[in-house]
Amino acid sequence: MPAFKPRRRSRFQSLCYFVFGLGFVLFVYYYALHEPRSSPDILAKEAASNSTLGFQKILVLSKSPSWRTRGLKAASAYTGLDIEIPVQSLPTDEFIQLWRKLGDPNGKHPGLGQAYNWIAHLDLVKYAIALDLETVLILEDDVDWDVTIKQQIQLISSAVREFTFVDDEDETPYGKSWDILWIGHSGDPLKNETRRVEFKDPSVPSKDQYTGWTKPYYNLNPGSRYVQRAVNPVGTIGYAMTKRGMKKVALWAGKGENEAYDIRLLEGCRSKDLSCIVVNPQLMHHYVPPMDFGHISEVAGVNGAGNKAEEEDFEKLMGSTPNIVQSTRCRVLFGSTCLRK
């Protein structure tokens, strides 16, 4: 009998070793070798941080090569973005004059610069339609963004998917239930009167750092960014459209009838003719050359303001970008930050 005991114990031990061993193999297989299928949310987030920020293409509105496009290309290379700057044709004077008169004679009408800008935007929207894109992101050529744009855009992807109640099976970065996703603008009054999704984002400017015409309306929680129904977004600095959105915008903004393209779109967002979502604070804003040059925008330039003689100096002297804490242009061109004070 005493000789029996150790044998039974050792059989029991072998069994234990076997069970542990099997468990270990299964554990390694499951957690190291076997790749579990990712959830649609994770796949969507991964897609959102690709070189076109989860849109099918990034198209840039640009009149001609300048400090604007050279800085833009440098910034895109730095953050790993693929942009396309299509060559655009100029409208005739006759067409511009007609365009400016469209709509109610007593209503609002675009200035010369606004009319050129408007038609150029429309041409780009039609180009995107002709390419049959599912989604497109249109940028103006003096746009700037944070060096963490790819992390930021993943948060936008999740928030837009939540905001628009995407299907559980949908793996696209932003779903399809919207017309315009306004990520770059000069402000939307940041009011909390429309439904919104709030999320933490370490790259958000604080209330003290935030500047612009919407500063008086600033009522955001510190460290939070929001995706919400657009109330009053101004400035088509960076806006995405779905295929449905492009077609609606071409018709809605193809009528003229307001002071500028962005204001015409804003009117459509407000009247709910267009389904618009805005990111607040904005992810993209205009980079502006040093103030002492009395820099003027492309639109104001056509309207007769400003002087182009000093434009070549713009590339040597650092300007600023509002509300972008770590400007990509300033990082790559000047090794610095340049948040507008």
Ligand X SMILES: *[C@@H]1O[C@H](CO)[C@@H](O)[C@H](O)[C@H]1NC(C)=O
Would you tell me which residues interact with ligand X (CB under 6 A)? 47, 50-52, 54, 56, 82, 173, 192, 219
CB of 57 to ligand X, least distance (A): 8
CB of 185 to ligand X, least distance (A): 21
Residue 117 or residue 154: which is nearer to ligand X going by CB?
154
What DSSP string runs through 94-148? HHHHHHHH-S-TTS----HHHHHHHHHHHHHHHHHHHTT-SEEEEEETTEEEBTT
> Virtual CA dihedral for 21, 22, 25, 26, nearest 10 degrees?
-150
User: Is the sign of the CA dihedral 115, 120, 124, 127 positive or negative?
Assistant: positive
Six token digits for residue 23: 């468990």
CB of 48 to ligand X, least distance (A): 7
Closest CA to 71 of 339, 317, 323: 317
CB of 51 to ligand X, least distance (A): 5
CB of 161 to ligand X, least distance (A): 13
Residue 40 or residue 290: which is nearer to ligand X going by CB?
40
Residue 64 or residue 151: which is nearer to ligand X going by CB?
151
Closest CA to 321 of 286, 277, 296: 286
Residue 96 or residue 197: which is nearer to ligand X going by CB?
197
Residue 40: DSSP 8-state: H
Residue 163 or residue 252: which is nearer to ligand X going by CB?
163
Say how far apart CA 127 and CA 225 lie, in whole Å. Answer: 32
Residue 2 or residue 222: which is nearer to ligand X going by CB?
222
CB of 81 to ligand X, least distance (A): 9
